[in-house]
Amino acid sequence: MPDQRPVQQKLLKNTAYNTVLTFFSRIGGLIFTIILARILLPERFGIYTLALTIILTIATFTDLGINGVVMKYVSESLKNKNHPKARSRLAFAFNFKIFLTAVFSIAVFVLAHAISIHIFKKPDLLLPLQIGAIYLFTYSIQGFLSAIFYTLQRVDYNTISEFIFQIARIGIVIMLLMFNKTITSVFISLIIATIIAIIFSFIVLTKKYPFLIKGKRPDLDYKERKRLLTFLGWVTISSISAVFFVNIDTFILGIFLKGAEFIAYYQSIFSIVGSVAAFVAFNSLLLPVFSQFKKGNFEKSFQKISKYISLVVIPIAIGLCFVIVPAIKILYGNAYVPSNYHLAILITSILLSLLVIEIALTSVYSSIFQAKEKPKILAILIVFAAITNIVLSYFFVKIGISIAPQYALVGDAAATLIARFGALIVLGILAKKTFNIKFNWKYLTKPIIATAIMAVFLFLFTYFIKMNILTLILAIVFAALVYLIVMFIIKGVKKDDFKINNLLKYANEKKQA
């Protein structure tokens, strides 16, 4: 048997860098969002959020699976040391990317008036969208360069690029907003920071990997082009549906509510939930691990991994329900939890906090289907889930508005929760039917018991103690200790469960079996 240590070491190294990248991205993004939220205040922050959501949604159409083509087919050529074909495939993808990005950036600029006035009925959205069209172009190019480094298995360069981008945009936006507190200043800071990150990535690429750019590039024949374009099919459907699935909340609120401040309230909640969820969505780790398992060991592997995840995500999600509103007040300011909207924002926060569980478990099932080369199933399911979310959001938001405008937030959150957990249940059913694996519900019993006791502690703590940044940190630390102590007492966890290398060790043992 060939020595697998170099492969394992590279996998572990890239996973570590990817974790650091996620940390920079989420923490940097949270700091950036907090700065904007405090300076712009709810109304203008809501307009910014809506503009950015539109830009990032349209950015999906500038990809259409192109980054996936780079990671799959260019890496395939590099593996075979066929550098000319790698250059040809990369050039094909890049030219296609530039064309789509230019078309959609121009389209956003031209249609900004119609989008802002006729669709969302918010004139203040016009200029941010026009400036955002430039950001759309730079954002897409940065994503393409990032895909190249993933292809080269040099996640460290992406991590450095992300760090540069986060530091640059935070520093630049603070300077610009000191002189001009407008949404335009925010998008200009994003454009400049993205260009700086692009320059870094391009310099590294030309100096370290010139063979991808320089040299002869044989023309791709019709069969090869068809192969590449066919690959874009299901990936495109899946990615577009997923983006609408994530952003439909903001669009619905933007269309049905006159005040943009409600978008700001919703975004302040979702930014914290998303930041937490990013650390429990284990796709990057689980996909290579699941890919290594043989058929006979697959169900046992799934059970072991699902146990680890259940230990973590249940207390995190329930704990977040208790601390998220105080966290919003501390991080974003009291303006984002107005007293007359407090109940609606609290209910919305609780509903969205539960998405942490869904996101973690969905990442497990998605990794299984990807590892077993079943992307078509995922794509179709995401399409139906997105449609369900749109329909439910429409009716639930209308019901919420009939009570009071702030309850549109509750309706939107409820629709999202139902659609996402519904998709998760269907994923579980399909996994059992397709791969004969099913979630072992007994793994939830002890975490739920310990989490219930932890929830009582958090309720008493937040009820009797005034929350500030120090007491919030103490509440989180003490809650974690309560959970762990109870789990040890009821024998729901062992010392070995905290050894990080256990999962990789288990994967290696099964691979060699």
From 220, 240, 272, give the residue that closes a domain. Answer: 220
Do 295 and 212 share a domain, yes or no? Answer: no
Q: Note whether 51 and 117 are same-domain residues.
A: yes
Range of the domain at 256: 231-441
Q: What is the mean pLDDT of the chain?
A: 82
pLDDT at 85: 74
Q: Choose between 228 and 99: higher pLDDT.
A: 99
Q: Please report which confidence band the pLDDT of residue 4 belongs to, taking 50, 70 and 90 as the band edges.
A: very low
Q: How far apart are CA 488 and CA 270, in angstroms?
A: 32
Mean pLDDT computed over 375-389: 80
pLDDT over 60 (residue 479): yes
Q: Is residue 192 over pLDDT 80?
A: yes
Residue 229 has what pLDDT?
65
Please tell me whether residues 153 and 236 are part of one structural domain. no
Q: Which residue did the predictor score with more confidence, 305 or 95?
A: 95
74 contacts 151 by C-beta, under 8 angstroms:
yes
Segment 215-224 shows an average pLDDT of 68
Say if residue 159's pLDDT is above 60. Answer: yes
Q: Which of 154, 185, 220 is the last residue of a domain?
A: 220
Instruction: Report pLDDT for 9.
Output: 58
248 and 168 housed in the same domain: no
What is the three-class DSSP state of 374? coil
Out of 98-112, 254-268, 409-423, 427-441, which region has the weakest mean confidence (pLDDT)? 427-441
Residues 142 and 64 in one domain: yes
Residue ending a domain, choose from 423, 441, 459: 441
- The reply to whether 446 falls in a domain is no
Q: Is residue 465 in some structural domain?
A: no
Q: Is residue 70 part of a domain?
A: yes
Domain membership flag for residue 297: yes
User: For the ranges 55-69, 137-151, 259-273, 311-325, which has the lowest average pLDDT?
Assistant: 55-69
Kindly state whether residue 340 falls inside one of the protein's structural domains: yes
pLDDT of residue 274: 85
Least confident of 17-26, 237-246, 253-262: 237-246
Both 260 and 184 in one domain: the answer is no
Band (133; pLDDT cuts 50, 70, 90): very high
246 pLDDT higher than 60 = yes
- Examine residue 467 and state whether it is found in any structural domain, yes or no: no
Spatial CA neighbour of 467 closest among 271, 291, 339, 328: 328
pTM of the model: 0.74
Residue 88 sits in the same domain as residue 198: yes
In this prediction, residue 250 has a pLDDT band, given cuts at 50, 70 and 90, of confident
Mean pLDDT for 222-244 is 64
108, 127 contact by CB (below 8 A): no
Q: Does position 100 have pLDDT exceeding 80, yes or no?
A: yes
The packing angle between helices 407-435 and 261-277, to 10°, is: 30
Domain membership of residue 468 (yes or no) is no
Same domain flag for 282 and 369: yes
Q: What is the pLDDT of residues 37-83, one digit of tens each?
A: 999 989 999 999 999 999 988 887 776 667 766 766 676 666 667 67
Whether residue 471 is contained in a domain is answered as: no
Are 216 and 261 found together in one domain?
no
Q: Give the dihedral sign, CA 37/41/43/47.
A: negative
pLDDT number for residue 1: 35
Does one domain contain both 291 and 430? yes
Are the C-beta atoms of 190 and 176 separated by less than 8 Å? no
Instruction: Let me know: does 286 contact 364? Beta carbons within 8 Å.
Output: yes
- Counting the structural domains of the chain, the total is 2
Residues 94 and 236 in one domain: no
Handedness of CA 89, 92, 98, 100 (dihedral sign): negative
Over residues 100-114, the mean pLDDT reads 93
Rg (CA), the chain: 23
Closest C-alpha to 358, from 409, 296, 301, 427: 427
Shared-domain flag, residues 146 and 247? no
